[in-house]
């Protein structure tokens, strides 16, 4: 949690952002489309392909007498694949698996059917320095069944995280490199025990019993967050709970400064919940699939993603009453596109270039903003993938049923394979040299490839990662997350024009805070659908859709403030759409909570992919402290030695 090509400006800004179309020369004739995405191969090609298939060469097998047996500490489902031998969690796989590993910023040690974490101190001498492990906190069940001889089992892992299960304690730990939180799930109602080698000096709980703070006599302050109320009691060096089931996150508070605590809290302030829930109820009440008038793959996708955001916000607000209606709406809007029963449009497979096109785009090069000639594929499909990921999360049965279609949409722009029998080209939009995407498709331009909306590109790969999470596909999560990170870094470098960078010369830098369209051979201040003076459109097209990942895209608070102040005068122009204003005010909320909130409350319209609920969620989950952003002061630096 919009654009491209010569958008129709006569109606583009009365109710929110609209897209236009680029000029197309000599559009290719429509090609017969097949619902089956099979490559068109000659008989000869098939025969040659078949005869060249060989199994990879392996040296003779051996049953080594020196390598340890991994089966004790890995989940059985992982044993059928090669296992890591130099991973960041390797100690957890060897012998009893009870030697600590540094999973930044904590040292983690599983042992005795529990897990201990240490915010390590450092030891210095003239010869070496190292981090000292002390079990600051040890987490376990206070009623262990000891069903297993082994302390823990590794149930999944990827480049940045490992999941440790302690079956005898009903605990599952999600250890993520670089996270300030230790996160664990209590899979069944279980009483918990948190012990410390230090003395507990003070302990306090929020009224909701979902946040608890305790101070230790070594100077450390820890915060415990729970997904639902949990009653805790404490003695001199132990905290215990009644039976609890849910998610718990624990983090060290770097110092007593409340600014850091506000960052760790992130979620919506309790006093703001009622306002968001009120908007949520109204926005969900307005969902009506039969009232949708657009058959554009772009605008339809935006409506799907907008509704999906409502479901996730409802979960965060613990207001689940609206989710059944959102689920019904998502099913009614997504299924016709996946089943090919949507009368106005649909997805088809183009054998000429090997990719998805729309029914409209297969006969009209300008339809769906050029989607039929491969323009903006990651933009359009990214919105669909986001909606599918959310629906698969809240309705896993539906997700399993439509997984083949879901993966086909994702693979159109996310395929990594170079295999000759692949249905889709490798990374259709992403440029592995430039480390960002292009959007132009099969249209000739004097200045080469181009991309306008970096934020919609980010949304595409972010949505793919979310789909991976929904389906438990760690490879897709890793790939989507990597491409998301690269797209963000490229946007910040090439599209965000920061004073003093001197990338584009003093004249361009003086007049512009953000690039409109970036070309292979040109940087343009204009947009496909708006002139350079419409600064609110330039800001909005690099921010929408408004999602949690948007905070990372605009993590530099100083730049966000400069960009908003550069844009605000443009809002005085007659005819500025309320939808565009919403994005300006959202970015203002990064550094001016109260000012942005008042302006958002005054809006009388929203972009078709946005909602009052989403804007209020964004504003109320911001910190009201201007200076603590990645660009000015990195709060996370306090966790780094």
Q: What is the pLDDT of residues 80-126, one digit of tens each?
A: 999 999 999 999 999 999 999 999 999 999 988 999 999 999 999 99
Do 191 and 283 sit in the same domain of this protein?
Answer: no
Query: Are 242 and 160 within one domain?
Result: yes
The whole-number pLDDT of residue 142 equals 80
Strand partners, 234: 239
The catalytic residue among 350, 452, 592, 608 is 452
Which of the pair, 35 or 203, is modelled with greater confidence?
Answer: 203
* 601 confidence band (pLDDT: 50, 70, 90): very high
Q: Look up the domain containing 143 and give its range.
A: 90-261
Known catalytic residue: 487? no
Query: Are 237 and 354 part of one and the same domain?
Result: no
Shared domain for 188 and 102, answered yes or no, is: yes
Q: Which residues contact 28 (CB under 8 A, 6 or more apart)?
A: 352, 365, 373, 442
Taking residues 161-170, report their average pLDDT.
Answer: 92
Least confident of 9-18, 340-349, 457-466, 573-582: 9-18
* Residue 178 pLDDT class (50, 70, 90 cuts): very high
Supply φ then ψ for residue 386, to 5 degrees.
Answer: -60, -50
pLDDT-above-90 percentage for the chain: 79
- Segment 571-579 mean pLDDT: 97
Return the higher-pLDDT residue of 453 and 151.
Answer: 453
Asked whether residue 631 is assigned to any structural domain, the reply reads no
Active-site position among 283, 350, 395, 456: 456
Whether residues 402 and 444 fall in one domain: yes
Q: Indicate if 185 and 313 belong to the same structural domain.
A: no
Which pLDDT score is estimated for 421? 84
Residue 452 designated active-site = yes
Q: How many domains does the chain have?
A: 2
Average pLDDT, integer, range 485-514: 95
* Mean pLDDT, residues 423-447 taken together: 97
pLDDT above 70 for 55: yes
- Phi, psi for 405 (deg, rounded to 5): -65, -40
% of the chain exceeding 70 in pLDDT: 87
CATH of the domain at 297: 1.50.10
Residue 79 near residue 71 (C-beta atoms within 8 A): yes
pLDDT exceeds cutoff 70 at 16:
no
**Chain-wide mean pLDDT for the chain?**
89
Residues 586-603, mean pLDDT to the nearest whole number: 97
Nearest of 583, 585, 591, 576 to residue 626 by alpha carbon: 591
Contacts with 241 (C-beta within 8 Å, 6 or more apart), sequence order: 191, 192, 193, 230, 231, 232, 233
Residue 13 confidence (pLDDT): 35
Mean local confidence (pLDDT), 8-36: 40
Quick check: 365 pLDDT over 90? yes
101, 136, 261, 376: which one is catalytic?
376
CATH number at residue 229: 2.70.98.30
Catalytic residue status for 271:
no
């Amino acid at each position: 949690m919009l654009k491209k090509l010569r958008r129709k400006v006569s109606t583009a800004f009365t109710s929110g952002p609209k897209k236009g179309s680029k000029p197309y020369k000599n559009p290719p004739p429509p090609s017969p489309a097949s619902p089956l995405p099979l490559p068109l191969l000659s008989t000869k090609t098939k025969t040659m392909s078949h005869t060249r298939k060989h199994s990879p060469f392996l040296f003779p097998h051996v049953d080594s007498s020196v390598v340890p047996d991994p089966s004790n500490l890995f989940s059985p489902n992982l044993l059928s694949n090669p296992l890591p031998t130099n991973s960041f969690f390797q100690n957890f796989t060897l012998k009893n698996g009870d030697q600590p590993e540094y999973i930044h910023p904590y040292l983690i040690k599983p042992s005795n059917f529990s897990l201990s974490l240490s915010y390590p101190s450092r030891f210095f001498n003239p010869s070496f320095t190292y981090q000292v492990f002390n079990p600051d906190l040890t987490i376990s069940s206070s009623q262990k069944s000891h069903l297993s001889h082994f302390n823990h089992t590794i149930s999944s892992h990827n480049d940045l995280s490992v999941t440790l299960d302690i079956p005898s304690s009903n605990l599952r730990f999600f250890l993520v490199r670089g996270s300030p939180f230790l996160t664990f799930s209590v899979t069944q109602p279980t009483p918990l025990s948190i012990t410390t080698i230090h003395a507990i000096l003070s302990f306090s709980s929020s009224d909701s019993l979902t946040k608890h703070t305790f101070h230790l006599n070594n100077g450390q302050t820890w915060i415990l967050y729970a997904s639902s109320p949990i009653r805790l009691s404490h003695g001199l060096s132990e905290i215990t709970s009644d039976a609890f089931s849910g998610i718990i996150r624990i983090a060290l508070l770097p110092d007593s400064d409340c600014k850091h605590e506000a960052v760790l809290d992130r979620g919506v302030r309790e006093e703001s919940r009622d306002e968001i829930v009120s908007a949520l109820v109204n926005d969900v009440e307005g969902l009506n699939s039969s009232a949708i008038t657009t058959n554009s793959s772009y605008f339809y996708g935006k409506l799907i993603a907008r509704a999906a955001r409502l479901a996730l916000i409802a979960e965060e607000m613990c207001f689940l009453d609206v989710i059944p209606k959102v689920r019904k709406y998502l099913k009614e809007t997504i299924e016709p596109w996946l089943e090919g029963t949507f009368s106005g449009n649909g997805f088809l497979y183009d054998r000429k270039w090997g990719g998805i096109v729309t029914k409209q785009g297969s006969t009209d090069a300008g339809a769906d903003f050029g989607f039929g000639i491969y323009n903006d594929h990651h933009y359009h499909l990214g919105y669909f993938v986001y909606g599918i990921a959310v629906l698969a999360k809240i309705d896993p049965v539906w997700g399993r049923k439509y997984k083949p279609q879901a993966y086909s949409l994702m693979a159109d722009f996310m395929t990594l394979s170079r295999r000759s029998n692949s249905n889709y080209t490798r990374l259709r939009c992403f440029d592995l040299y430039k480390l960002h995407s292009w959007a132009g498709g099969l249209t000739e331009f004097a200045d080469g490839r181009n991309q306008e909306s970096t934020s919609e590109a980010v949304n595409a790969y972010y949505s793919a990662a979310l789909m991976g999470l929904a389906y438990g596909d760690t490879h897709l999560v890793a790939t989507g997350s990597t491409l998301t990170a690269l797209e963000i870094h490229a946007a910040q470098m090439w599209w965000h024009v920061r004073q003093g960078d001197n990338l584009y010369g003093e004249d361009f830098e003086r007049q512009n805070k953000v690039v409109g369209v970036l070309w292979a051979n040109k940087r343009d201040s204009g947009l496909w659908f708006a002139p350079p003076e419409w600064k609110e459109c330039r800001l909005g097209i690099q921010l929408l859709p408004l999602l949690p990942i948007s905070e990372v895209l605009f993590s530099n608070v100083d730049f966000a403030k400069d960009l908003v102040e550069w844009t605000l005068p443009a809002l005085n122009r007659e005819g500025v759409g309320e939808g565009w204003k919403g994005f300006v005010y959202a970015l203002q909320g990064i550094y001016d909570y109260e000012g942005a909130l008042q302006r958002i409350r005054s809006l009388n319209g929203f972009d078709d992919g946005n909602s009052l609920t989403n804007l209020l969620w964004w504003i109320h989950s911001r910190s009201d402290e201007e200076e603590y952003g990645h660009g000015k002061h990195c709060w996370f630096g306090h966790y780094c030695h």
